[in-house]
Structure 1
Amino acid sequence: MNKLFLFVPAFWLSVTICHGQRFKADDIQKHINFLASDDLEGRGTGTLGEIRAANYIAGLFEESGLQPAGTEGSFFQPFQVMVSVEGNPHQLIGRNVVGFLDNGAEKTIVVGAHYDHLGKGFQGSSLSPDSQNKIHNGADDNASGTTGLIELARFISKNDVKEKHNFLFIAFSGEELGLLGSKHFVNNPTVALNKISSMINMDMIGRLQDDKGIVVSGWGTSPVWGKLIPGIAKKQSMRYTIDSSGVGASDHTSFYLKEIPVVQFFTGSHGDYHKTSDDADKINLPGEVKIINLIADLLVQLDAEPSEPVFVAAGNAHSGSTVSNFKVTLGVMPDYSYTGKGLRIDGVTKARPAEKAGMVAGDVLIKLGGKEIGTIYDYMDMLGKYEKGEQVEAVILRGGDTKVMKVIF
């Protein structure tokens, strides 16, 4: 269940002045205006517009003094993507943009945001009618989060402080196609996963409404978030809603599934989500300044903690702010990059029907209730037909074996 907190304003003048100097609305507007401009044509994965956005981010990482932490000595970590365009599969190249602040530390804090969007509507998931060949600028989703990444990289690199941690700043490609960039990174890390302390993600932080505040996901993945965030939010008079789960529709999920503590910041859905109308003039610039200041304070305090964050397997992946039309859930994280028949499972939530039935990550669900599952959409259609307490038969592939399991919703 979500919990809503409201703190009475408690700004100190010195803190306000300091925050004003750290991040400026003009800088945020400059980044978002470029990333969400028609010139970049919606930053579709593998497109020229996305490449230009990647170059922009890499240039600012370099200007901030970050070291290249992609592949072959560059800021870029390319990976192959199979995209269906007008019913035909095409292989494209996505590229994460990765910059490293090396403080000679044992552990590294990861800060991430995805910079891809829907391009000109040919890569799917647009909610605008007749959307093909129309630019989806994605100002909030996720030029806003990418801007936060750029500004935090500058702040951490230029603050004249040698932190106790290294910092890895990653702009992910392929998020809109199924968290492909972050999944590629955790499977091909340029910093060893066992050296990663935690991961902070920003996805859609550009539409702050003071009466609603922010959604903080991943709260249950480590006690450290409940220890640090309330006090920081209090200083900013920031409302927030918590979602315990580490699994959600953004790149923090890929790190959570590797048992890394995660937290994500999000200002909520709106009527322009995944539509051609998500433009730069609708961004709440002072609100984004406030959120980036909050995350900057979190990074500073997280770095100062006497011990590393403890990972906790969080609760129900479908609790919290997620709104679902289903009465039941299986409790699995689909592998959105899987192109074979069936639903490949990337993660299983503890104490949910899938785990109780014996399913594990890597299984491919091919039948549910006697009906074949061809794609994830078949699975979603089937799930909407069941009631809590119903028992159905599930058929999965595990390696070369077929297994039959009983699922109780």
Structure 2
Amino acid sequence: MKKIVLGVFFILAFGCKTEAPKIASMEEEVKVLASDEFKGRETGTEEELKAAEYIMGQMAEMGLEPKGNAGTYYQTFTFKPKKDPHQQVGFQEAGDSTITGTNVIGFINNKSLNTVVIGAHYDHLGLGGEGSLHRGEPEVHNGADDNASGVAVLLDLANKIKETKLSTNYLFITFSGEEMGLLGSNFYTKNPTLNLGEVSYMLNLDMVGRLREDKTLSVSGTGTSPIWPQVLNASNPGFKLVLKESGVGPSDHTSFYLQDIPVLHFFTGQHEDYHKPTDDAEKLNYEGMRLISMYLFSLVQELDDDKKLAFRKTKNESEEVPRFKVTLGVIPDYLFDGKGMRIDGISEDRPAQKAGLEKGDIVVQLGDSTVVNMMSYMRALSAFEPGDTTTVRVLRKGETLKAPITF
């Protein structure tokens, strides 16, 4: 991976007492945050703190007020890493074997009774480790789509809102510790720097850098307020929206939903570079990111004069996910809205690759089970144990193919 010469963007990162960097474009922001010099922005590292300082500089340059602790842009939290993957992380005082994460928080204070929270995590996987899908020696996981893309759209949106006369207050948070279990957003909602009772809704941007040619955009949380479907469709400039009702999901909006706040999570889909060192800046669709930013700007303008949004609980879809001991070794296309489970990527030396499956194949049957969507695919997987052999049927370019597969 080519290293980026960061130049002026490192002025704040290295602590020099000089002017903050000028407001950067989304391309420039992603190149900085997803550069090798930041070594994957792992929570608690020196490089993550440099990324926090860069984001702080951008917020300060556009005139956002600091809304962290003690009049700063930072809210820090300290925790001890969990040894058991099922264990819940507990926050605590700094000490031996603890890690300190840093949320970066800016505020537009329009003296309103209502505040909108807009968030995106900026941490990533560092050199790999737990959560990485990379096979081989440790390597920098730059996290351009995950989630420098969300931070760049957040900052672009903040600048648009700052330059427009709106009436609502806006709180912009870039979270640390998301990859370790939504730690930064969890800590913020339990230690808020403003009254959460005044928060009207929360928008979360996580992996919004790979908009496809058909402009498919996933929006989760649409059941958390009765107004969401109407507003999303009314403001839509032409996205193919995939709407999902649940307020619970694997990103920071979940922490706010659990505080009875309406949420939306925007996502352009997984891809073969997800959680790998190849998630680099040059692969992003920056025009798509600009379209998403304009869409969200239209949405907040539409809701700017509204009273606090009504909250509604949703069915927790994650509780219904079957437990399974085997996998095909594929990346599903979560935005696919046809029948079956479309494969968006194949992992090396895993059952799907050994069976000859390819990217773009649509799994329609696994063993005796018909696959019509992601849930039925996971239910089908749950019937198998390691070492089992069965057959898989896929659609490939209009033809049905059958192959033996061993888990």
Q: Which residue of 2 aligns with 1:157?
A: 162
Q: Which residue of 2 aligns with 1:109?
A: 116
Partners of 2:247 and 2:264 within 8 A in 1:
yes
Residues 114-193 of structure 1: pairs in structure 2 closer than 5 A = 114-122=121-129, 124-132=130-138, 134-159=139-164, 161=165, 163-193=166-196
Range with bigger deviation, 149-158 or 179-188:
149-158
The change in CA–CA distance for 1:92 and 1:318 in structure 2 (over 3 A counts) is: closer
For normalisation by structure 1, the TM-score amounts to 0.69
- Counterpart residue type for residue 137 of structure 1: N
Deviation at 1:384, TM superposition (A): 4.7
CA distance in structure 2 between the aligned counterparts of 1:205 and 1:224, rounded to whole angstroms: 23
- Counterpart residue type for residue 36 of structure 1: A
Structure 1 stretches of 4+ moved >3 Å: 324-327, 383-386
The change in CA–CA distance for 1:82 and 1:238 in structure 2 (over 3 A counts) is: same
* Secondary structure, aligned partner of 2:99: strand
Q: Which residue of 2 aligns with 1:229?
A: 232
Q: Which runs of 5+ in 2 are unaligned?
A: 1-23, 86-95, 325-377, 385-407
- Counterpart residue type for residue 169 of structure 1: F
Name the count of aligned residue pairs.
295
Q: Which residue of 2 aligns with 1:199?
A: 202
Q: Which residue of 2 aligns with 1:44?
A: 42
Deviation at 1:225, TM superposition (A): 1.2
Deviation at 1:117, TM superposition (A): 0.3
- Counterpart residue type for residue 216 of structure 1: V
Aligned alpha-carbon RMSD (Å): 2.3
* Secondary structure, aligned partner of 2:25: helix
Q: Which residue of 1 aligns with 2:315?
A: 315
Residues 252-263 of structure 1: pairs in structure 2 closer than 5 A = 252-263=253-264
Which one of 92, 97, 109 corresponds to residue 90 of structure 1?
A: 97
Partners of 2:199 and 2:308 within 8 A in 1:
no
Partners of 1:42 and 1:118 within 8 A in 2:
yes
CA distance in structure 2 between the aligned counterparts of 1:265 and 1:210, rounded to whole angstroms: 17
Structure richer in helix, relative to its length: 1
For normalisation by structure 2, the TM-score amounts to 0.69
Residues 271-310 of structure 1: pairs in structure 2 closer than 5 A = 271-305=272-306, 307-310=307-310
Partners of 2:206 and 2:265 within 8 A in 1:
yes
- Counterpart residue type for residue 232 of structure 1: S
Residues 372-383 of structure 1: pairs in structure 2 closer than 5 A = none
Deviation at 1:304, TM superposition (A): 2.5
* Secondary structure, aligned partner of 1:177: coil
Q: Which runs of 5+ in 1 are unaligned?
A: 1-25, 328-379, 387-409
Deviation at 1:131, TM superposition (A): 4.8
* Secondary structure, aligned partner of 1:253: helix
CA distance in structure 2 between the aligned counterparts of 1:93 and 1:308, rounded to whole angstroms: 34
CA distance in structure 1 between the aligned counterparts of 2:137 and 2:190, rounded to whole angstroms: 33
CA distance in structure 2 between the aligned counterparts of 1:304 and 1:179, rounded to whole angstroms: 31
Partners of 1:104 and 1:166 within 8 A in 2:
yes
- Counterpart residue type for residue 127 of structure 2: K
* Secondary structure, aligned partner of 2:119: strand
